[in-house]
């Protein structure tokens, strides 16, 4: 079996992505996550403002 595999003369396997590609992907995912957290905070703040505004209108 080993002789058969040797006879195939296969090219050495190379990963589809190199270290820089993987680092760029991880950094991109991290940055996207940070943006989502910031947007979530903004949505929560807007909801609170709308709720406060709605309560003030009911009191009038």
What is the reported pLDDT for 4? 59
Taking the model in full, what pTM does it have? 0.55
Could you give the 3-state DSSP secondary structure of residue 59?
helix
Q: Please tell me the distance from the alpha carbon of residue 44 to that of residue 38, in angstroms, as a whole number.
A: 10
Spatial separation of the C-alpha atoms in residues 5 and 1, rounded to whole Å: 6
Q: What is the mean pLDDT of residues 3-7?
A: 59
pLDDT in the model for residue 11? 74
Alpha helices in 1-60 (DSSP H): 2-8, 19-59
pLDDT of residue 12: 78
Domain spans of the chain, in order of start: 17-59
Q: What is the pLDDT of residues 14-54, one digit of tens each?
A: 788 899 999 999 999 999 999 999 999 999 999 999 998 87
């Amino acid at each position: 079996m080993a002789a058969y595999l040797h006879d195939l003369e296969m090219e050495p396997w190379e990963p589809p992505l190199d270290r820089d590609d993987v680092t760029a992907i991880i950094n991109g995912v991290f940055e996207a996550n940070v943006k989502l957290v910031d947007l979530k905070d903004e949505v929560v703040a807007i909801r609170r403002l709308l709720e406060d505004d709605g309560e003030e209108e009911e009191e009038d």
